[in-house]
Amino acid sequence: MFKKISTLSLLGLSFIALSTNDENQNTDNSVEETRLSDIRVTSDFRVETTASEVPASLTVLDSDSLEQAGQQHFQDVLNLVPNINWSGSTSRPRYFQIRGIGERSQYEGAPNPSVGFIIDDMDFTGIGGAATLFDIEHIEVLRGPQGTRYGANALAGLIYVQSKTASTERSHHGRLSVGQDGIASAGFSTTGALGNSQDNAYRFAVHQYQSDGFRHNVFYNRDDSDQKDELSIRGKLHFQMNDHWQSDLSLLMIDQDNGFDVWTPSHDFTTYSNDLGIDAQKAYGASWKNTWSGKHFDVVSITALTDADITYFFDGDWGNNNYWGEYAPYEYALNNDRERRHSTQEFRLLSNPESRLFNGRSDWLVGVYLSRLDENNHSLEASDGLAYRDFASHYQADNIALFGQLDNQLTENTTLSTGLRLEQRKADYGDDNALMLSPKDDMLGGQISLRHQLNQHHNLYASVSRGFKAGGFNLSTTLPDSRRGYDPEYLINYEVGSKAFLFDYRLQLNTAVFYSKRKDMQVSTSFQSDPDDPLTYVYYTGNAAEGENYGVELDALWQASRNLSIHGSLGYLKATYSDYVTIDGDFSGREQAHAPNYTANVGFTYLGDRGFFTRLDYQAVDAFYFSDSHDQRATSKQLLHVKVGYQAPQWALYAWGRNILDERYAVRGFYFGLEPPNYNDTLYTHLGDPQHFGVTFEFDF
């Protein structure tokens, strides 16, 4: 029934979008304050691009949405975006799935993500825990392969986080929050001119968040074993060097000292671990963007560095000897320390009106991208307090890419864009098992898109794009050499869409229909080689299948009146395997993991003339498979979040509730044998946050 209603609603709204024109829209200029505006995006090559001009399925969460619907992390607002999911293998989401494609847990071997994650031009792909929300301007989620712009790390799409910019107009902002389960946070930001300059500016923001984590650990009789302790510091400097040169420096420090005590044999919020888990990440990042505007072309240089130290520790048996009783001693623990250094350099040469081709009808750009990723990993596994596996490895990957794009103005309202990217990845890997590997991949991707402007507020587009993901290798010593490595994966995506501002800019409506074909699909499976040891998972990735992913995406914002806005999004997804047979069975035709058939969100925001505020978000996500190697599923979920308060010119006070229906739902699941004496395969899940409430006070001066 839900699917039928969703399809009919989508068809009706799409018909409105395609049939509405200037003549039948409301042109009453007396309600100027109800008009919506287009958002300038930063994930595109050209800085002047707006969201409605990007020929791709794109959702932009602006600062109002982030502040009204979120509390601390991108995790809080992720369900506002259609066809996106995440896996709870860590205290905060590090791994995302867009349209059913993306990693679900920490890799073994080469870091090779499908979803890119960028913060202020700094590459945090695979360590998305850094996505805190304080002082963020907007988050852009591009769905579908970004083969020209981002290459190998964006097979499924890209998440781009843009923090607030420095301004010469001096202002200060503060935020304080308290809530159930030990939630407490404080943040402060300030911006202004550097010295007496009218052109140069700074911005600084700091935010500290803490919570106990909604678990009770019986062994220690503690309620904070899954605690979160997160500090973020941001800095920005803007320099207008002269009329032709602009320089921007962004700095970021994220210090997350989180616990990780969520897995339990009792399938609830009570844990029994005697070795308390740790999910800690200290990351530093910097990006330096320079833009030179010349007579015949513009030059953009982006230099970025990230440096992260990550510790991931957990109790492998999820219990203690008292809990296991007659089967004790039964003690396992694993610790992984990861040092990650990543540097990138990108140069772009962009045309301006003086250098357009073909009688001034074609913009162009060319560029080069250089990257070096260096990682050291050290894993230590222990049983009964004694180390029995001590493993260290080193990985280094160098990427170089050449890319170009040509935007041809076929008519006054029609633009044909063609992009191409050639990328090479060379890697070197070595570990304690004397495994030495040096894979090398040459990959080619790009896109062709056609954008037609029906009128000044309505764009249609159609695109064909090819994305790619580099190959990699498996580490298990039991695998034959013939299965050691696996090849790159490619994805062809066909998409048509509409982006419109309707009814005198009171309704923003974006729709997209897509079909993707995955070739040489990289599929990760696992099995437990020793039923008595819960840490003896053997991970194997191979080009084991092909797949197809198709569906529909919609997001809408309706400014119903000066005081009331209604928002909503809908994603329908069908993601299946073809020709996929493993030792566990024939999965051909089965849906891919972490690919729910529908994701939906609907809600409203009310801001009265006297300052009273209300926001409501109702979110629904369909059931989905947890893994590619078994048929266990997460049940569907429905979440309701509410925020009410009062906004004065210089301050605001809110009361908020998250998951106020107290829905019990899973964000990750494993199916294996844990419990002695029979070690029967059982589904264990990481439960999402239960119902909780709090208050927030904000002020400006």
Rg (C-alpha) for the chain, rounded Å, is: 25
pLDDT along the chain (701 residues), means of 10: 41 38 42 79 84 94 94 93 92 91 79 91 88 95 92 92 96 97 97 92 98 97 96 97 95 96 95 95 97 93 97 94 92 93 97 91 96 95 82 94 96 96 95 90 96 95 95 77 84 97 96 95 69 62 85 97 96 90 71 95 96 97 91 96 97 97 95 92 95 97 91
Give residue 582's pLDDT: 64
| Pick from 410, 406, 405, 379: nearest CA to 393 | 379
- Cβ-contact 562, 33 below 8 angstroms: yes
Asked, for residue 412, whether it belongs to a domain, the answer is yes
- Number of structural domains in the chain: 1
Contacts of 242 (CB under 8 A, 6+ apart): none
Domain that residue 447 falls in:
2-166+333-700
Q: Provide the sign of the torsion angle of the four alpha carbons 680, 681, 682, 688, taken in this order.
A: positive
C-alpha–C-alpha distance, residues 370 and 267, integer Å? 46
Pairing of strands 84-86, 96-98: antiparallel
State how far Cα 391 lies from the chain centre. Answer: 30
| H or E element that contains 526 | strand 507-528
Asked, for residue 486, whether it belongs to a domain, the answer is yes
Asked, for residue 409, whether it belongs to a domain, the answer is yes
| Pick from 514, 566, 607: nearest CA to 156 | 514
Eight-state DSSP code of residue 594 = T
| Pick from 551, 557, 552: nearest CA to 576 | 551
Asked, for residue 548, whether it belongs to a domain, the answer is yes
Give residue 538's pLDDT: 62
Asked, for residue 673, whether it belongs to a domain, the answer is yes
Contacts of 32 (CB under 8 A, 6+ apart): none
For the chain, the first-to-last Cα distance in angstroms comes to: 51
| Pick from 361, 348, 337: nearest CA to 299 | 348
Q: Provide the sign of the torsion angle of the four alpha carbons 516, 522, 528, 534, taken in this order.
A: negative
Asked, for residue 209, whether it belongs to a domain, the answer is no
Give residue 33's pLDDT: 67
Give residue 343's pLDDT: 97
Give residue 45's pLDDT: 86
Nearest 10 degrees: Cα torsion 294, 370, 49, 51:
-170
Asked, for residue 231, whether it belongs to a domain, the answer is no
C-alpha–C-alpha distance, residues 399 and 110, integer Å? 13
Asked, for residue 296, whether it belongs to a domain, the answer is no
C-alpha–C-alpha distance, residues 153 and 145, integer Å? 9
In CATH, what number is assigned to the domain containing residue 633? 2.40.170.20
| Pick from 397, 391, 369: nearest CA to 378 | 391
Planar angle of CA 157, 160, 165, nearest 5 degrees: 165
Give me 496's structure tokens: 């048509």
